[in-house]
Amino acid sequence: MGSLKIDFAVGYNATKMVLSSFNFVASILFTLECYHIIGHLAILLRIRMLPRRDLVRIRLYFLVDALTVFITNFIYIGKLKWLATLQIIQHLFYFFTWDQSYLAKKIIDWSSLDWFSSYKNGRVELDSILGTAFDVGVHAINAYILSQYMSMLEIFIGVSISYMSIGYFLFSSKYAWSSPYSMPKWVQQRIRPIVPL
């Protein structure tokens, strides 16, 4: 019975030591940054997209994205504030002018399945591509810097949670996120031709 108490105490102390060294703030921010990277890449590389009418409803995502960058760069790591400021201004502009300004409508159109269906033969929108690539770059830089504050276990957990979250939201048949190359009928019915701005 005495060895069981010792084993329990050793296990408890080991768990306590792991949890006390776990950097929760860096891990949460890292997980969010990875989620943003994967989500933006899915749109940039045309892997998963939403119909325009559904994309318009997720305006709040731009605020969450900007808030993640603000907390990471201004509060937690205190580095690259100039880069974060550019990204935050970009996202706040889209948030406040969502589906109203020319640029906001253009990024909504370009990011949607409606755009892909309307311009299958390709219509390059360099500003939308570069803006999204810039966003991916900011999140990637932040994730790299945050990883310096984390253990390999924390990095593994953060990447795994991001991957599972993306799998749940972007690859679930419950949501309208679809591959532009193979859309379910119910998603196709939500698509309308893009009206040039």
Does residue 132 lie in a domain region? yes
Does residue 16 lie in a domain region? no
What pLDDT is stored for residue 182 in this prediction? 85
Does residue 108 lie in a domain region? yes
Number of structural domains the chain divides into: 1
H-assigned helices in the chain: 2-21, 24-44, 52-55, 60-70, 81-96, 102-110, 113-118, 126-147, 152-170, 185-188
Give the lowest-confidence range in 98-107, 127-136, 176-185: 176-185
Does residue 5 lie in a domain region? no
User: Domain span at residue 43?
Assistant: 21-188
> Ranked by mean pLDDT, which of 2-6, 15-19, 137-141 comes out on top?
137-141
Model confidence pLDDT, tens digit, residues 21-74:
568 899 999 999 999 999 999 999 999 999 999 999 999 999 999 999 999 999
Does residue 1 lie in a domain region? no
Does residue 153 lie in a domain region? yes
What pLDDT is stored for residue 18 in this prediction? 45
Does residue 10 lie in a domain region? no
Bridge partners, 50 (sequence order): 112
Q: What is the DSSP string of 178-193?
A: BBTTB--HHHHTT--P
Residue with tokens 């990095």, as numbered in its chain: 155
What pLDDT is stored for residue 175 in this prediction? 84
The alpha carbon of residue 135 and the mean position of all alpha carbons in its chain are separated, in whole angstroms, by: 10
Does residue 72 lie in a domain region? yes
> For residues 181 and 29, which has the higher predicted lDDT (pLDDT)?
29
For the entire predicted model, the pTM comes to: 0.84
What mean pLDDT comes out for the span 7-27?
Answer: 59
> For residues 147 and 196, which has the higher predicted lDDT (pLDDT)?
147
